[in-house]
Amino acid sequence: MSNLLSSLESKLHMHGNRNDQIWVEPSADFICKRTPDGLIKYVTPAVQSMLGYAPDELVGRLYTLFVHAEDYKRIANIAMPDGEEVCSLTYRLKRKDGIYIWVTSQISVTRHPETYEPFEFICVTSDVSAKIKAEHFILEYEKLNVVGQLAAGIAHEIKNPLTSLKGFIQLMQAGQELNHGYLAIMEEEIKRIEAVSKELMLMAKPHKSDFKPFDMNDLADHAITLLMAEAAKKCVEITRKSTLEDGMFLCDGNKIKQVLINLLMNAIDAMELPGQITVGISKSKEILDIVVADTGKGIPEEDLDKIGKPFFTTKENGNGLGLMICHKIIEEHNGKMRVESSSKGTTFTISLPIQ
């Protein structure tokens, strides 16, 4: 906790021996003390400029009452920091006028010296609404960019079944009887067109974060569906390998799918010769791992630390935003993404905490 408190020394002045009296220099952040159950014990006056509440309107109330319900479900089970570590959470808080704003809280825990049980949380909360809006704009831009890159492949994926449908209709028109074998094939081809169209529409459609149970195996299959035509152009085979019988996982399914599509597109682009891409899914007691491994040319060692930084790209026509967005999405899910690479290929590993 000392790390958090030392960062506040320029803002806080203790008066006498009374720990409950704190004078705060003008700041855009507010500081809150609350119990492990969420009961607000103290909040600095700066809360009024951010949320519109006077401190005495909040003291004695539950902090969780002001957290957006969707975000509460996401952050409720996140483990609090241990020792002197600081936990950072991004979520929405309700202002007095009823409007929700995005904030980031740096949280430190005070523990009982004997039992080591937490008895007080100290939060430093900042308004990050403008930053979140900018990130959402970049996210939507990158999504549309991906859709544009996929357009030719999607057209090819739809053209093939349409050609089959046209041919079977002509065959049945020439015959005297209804051919049920033809009809079965036609139905499968229509389902193929529907699946591709649905995935494309979900990718292009703007949406807010929506954490729901999704089957991770299905999300991977949907992402692979969109990339099959693109992979076929380079004679690249994409395979999913999963150890999960039940792949249900609480997440924003469309955003996780966007991460997979970005990683798969990068893997395909890295292939100079025919090769393979493997999407592996597994989980331990508390972590779900998604591994995207290719057999491409790899990433130079000097560039590995730059992966995910804005505007860094090894592609001729790239903008460097794709992997940055992937990192942001994984961070929203309180997960981590790491990369390993050699001349034999590159492996991206996404680790997500199971809630």
CATH code for position 261: 3.30.565.10
Structure confidence at residue 320 (pLDDT): 53
Q: Residue 280 pLDDT more than 90?
A: yes
**What are the φ/ψ torsions at residue 144 (nearest 5 degrees)?**
-65, -35
Q: Residue 106 pLDDT more than 50?
A: yes
Once rounded to an integer, what is the mean pLDDT over residues 319-325? 65
Residues 223 and 296 in one domain: yes
On whether the CB atoms of residues 46 and 29 are closer than 8 A, the answer is yes
On whether the CB atoms of residues 95 and 52 are closer than 8 A, the answer is yes
Within a 13 Å sphere around the CA of 209, how many CA atoms are in the beta-carbon half?
25
Residues 97 and 161 in one domain: no
Structure confidence at residue 55 (pLDDT): 92
Residues 68 and 142 in one domain: no
Confidence category of residue 207, pLDDT binned at 50, 70, 90: low
By CB neighbour count within 10 A (0-12 exposed, 13-18 middle, 19+ buried), where does 281 fall? buried
Residues 232 and 260 in one domain: yes
DSSP-assigned letters across all residues of 23-84: EE-S-S-EEEEE-TT-BEEEE-TTHHHHHS--HHHHTTSBGGGGB-HHHHHHHTTPPPP-TT
C-alpha distances (whole Å) from 190 to each of 118, 164, 168, 221 are 58, 10, 12, 18
C-alpha distances (whole Å) from 159 to each of 156, 178, 197, 231 are 5, 24, 12, 17
Residues 115-125 pLDDT 10s: 778 888 899 99
What is d(CA 259, CA 27) in angstroms, rounded to the nearest whole number?
A: 36
- The residue type of 335 is G
Owner of token pair 């005495």: 56
Q: Pick from 106, 127, 148: which residue ends a domain?
A: 127
Dump strand ranges (E) for 64-183. Answer: 87-94, 100-111, 118-127
Mean pLDDT of the chain: 77
Owner of token pair 């006028």: 97
Q: Residue 22 pLDDT more than 50?
A: no
Residues 316 and 169 in one domain: yes
Once rounded to an integer, what is the mean pLDDT over residues 186-208? 65
Q: Which of 140-144, 182-186, 206-210, 242-246 has the largest mean confidence?
A: 242-246
Share of the chain above pLDDT 90, in %: 21
What is d(CA 158, CA 151) in angstroms, rounded to the nearest whole number?
A: 11
By CB neighbour count within 10 A (0-12 exposed, 13-18 middle, 19+ buried), where does 132 fall? middle
Give the count of beta carbons closer than 10 Å to the beta carbon of residue 142.
19
Nearest to 157 by CA among 187, 204, 199, 206: 199
Which two tokens mark 260? 């997979």
Residues 141 and 36 in one domain: no
Q: Pick from 112, 127, 142: which residue ends a domain?
A: 127
Residues 139 and 70 in one domain: no
Once rounded to an integer, what is the mean pLDDT over residues 232-256? 87
Question: How many domains would you assign to the chain?
Answer: 2
What is d(CA 4, CA 105) in angstroms, rounded to the nearest whole number?
A: 11
Beta pairing, strands 118-127 & 18-24: unpaired
Residues 68 and 150 in one domain: no
Q: Which domain holds residue 83?
A: 2-127
Q: Pick from 100, 127, 154: which residue ends a domain?
A: 127
Cα–chain center distance at 177: 53
Residues 214 and 236 in one domain: yes
Residues 70 and 183 in one domain: no
What is d(CA 183, CA 329) in angstroms, rounded to the nearest whole number?
A: 42
Q: Which of 14-18, 119-123, 180-184, 328-332 has the largest mean confidence?
A: 119-123
Residues 349 and 218 in one domain: yes
Residues 119 and 185 in one domain: no
